[in-house]
Amino acid sequence: MIEFEVHHTDPSGARRGRLLTRHGPVQTPAFMTVGTRGTVTGLEPTDLSRAGVQVVLGNTYHLMLRPGPELFRRVGGLHAFMRWSGPILTDSGGYQIFSLAHARTISERGARFRSYIDNSEHLLSPERSIEMQTALGSDIMMALDVCLDSRSDPTTVRRAMERTHRWALRSLAARTNPEQALFGIVQGGLHQDLREASCDFITAQPFDGFAIGGLAVGDSREERASVIAATAHRLPAGRPRYLMGVGTPPDLLLAMAAGVDMFDCMIPTHLAWQGTAFTSTGRVKVTRGAAGAQDEPLDPRCACPACTGYTRAYLHHLLKCKEPLGYRLLSLHNLHHYNQLMADARTAIEAGRYAAFAKEALEAMDRHEHAA
């Protein structure tokens, strides 16, 4: 179980709260760092703590295939295995079902697929997903859902949504450890009537929190913002609201104004390994030639190790040489940037000036960031 309190609500609708888990508190709004296989690539847990990370997200699908549930039962869960003492949220595997369209079959029972590791066959059902998340010992588990391209036609979206609802009930029935929170997921694509129907059904169930799923899979920023704004306010005010897999800084700023409390996305670390840094004035492609002649830090406002110790030219050199230190420093920077953005947002909400803060932050970001 978890406890959740909203301490401040800004006139914009942004919320400042605290989520209390078995492994400590989470100050909200919060950005959760994706550690797909029980690690954030290239970083240790101490690095994450120093970057301000509060919650790590583990991937049920990948960890089920390797190393498997028996190991986690033996060692006492993912916290002990990866040596992370803070809260962990585990996804259900629903997005992986979506991304494996060429190699899986979905039925009412679940998704049947072959392992990318050894070609063995597996069935990921609501019950199997909860069983695996129970073995992982996460603080927050997610119900298995059916994720689609958000531009799918209404009939296809409705069928997937209704199956998501049936799977949500099975996920609740499969939970065996009441100490682990379980969140339900609202689906419905870009169709407002379906989103409303899904909200009504999912929020009527005894979930500990509620997520908005099925976005950032084919939709535009404007379409996402519209769905988020219309959906978030229908979720219970006294429960945490989680926007799944949506994570550019402008997306976060707009979603916080809609009253969303929790976020996750692989973007900050994934793009770091492609040479992209997020700064207070937008994205910087460190691998571009111009960076090689710049002796200033990535972001003079940033206090991370990359910005306080090195120049853009040095980071450019590391990446051009494919030195692991370059990717590590960019990952640390991006995580620090995201967590500082959330900390600044929390301060602005407490002061009742979130709308002005978000406007200033968005205006400071470059055109590329807004177009992404």
What is the pLDDT at residue 95?
83
- 339-348: pLDDT as tens digits: 999 999 999 9
Catalytic residues: 91, 264
295-313 core/surface letters (b: 16 or more CB in 10 A; e: else): eebbbeebebbbbeebbbe
Full set of structural domains in the chain with CATH: 3-265 (3.20.20.105), 277-371 (no CATH)
Structure tokens at 181: 């929170």
- 140-183: pLDDT as tens digits: 999 999 988 888 999 999 999 999 999 999 999 999 999 999 99
What is the pLDDT at residue 218?
87
- 34-66: pLDDT as tens digits: 999 999 999 999 999 999 999 999 999 999 999
Beta bridge partners of 34: 57
- 274-322: pLDDT as tens digits: 999 999 999 999 999 999 999 999 999 999 999 999 999 999 999 999 9
What is the pLDDT at residue 371?
47
- 82-128: pLDDT as tens digits: 999 999 999 998 888 777 766 788 999 999 988 889 989 999 999 99
Q: How far is 262 from 259, CA to CA, in rounded Å?
A: 10
Average pLDDT over residues 206-223: 94
Average pLDDT over residues 15-26: 98
What is the pLDDT at residue 366?
63
DSSP helix/strand/coil, 236: coil
What is the pLDDT at residue 104?
81
Element (DSSP H or E) covering residue 162: helix 154-174
The whole-model pTM stands at: 0.96
What is the pLDDT at residue 151?
86
What is the pLDDT at residue 372?
40
Beta bridge partners of 57: 34, 89
What is the pLDDT at residue 157?
96
Structure tokens at 203: 């929020």
Structure tokens at 353: 């000036």
What is the pLDDT at residue 99?
75
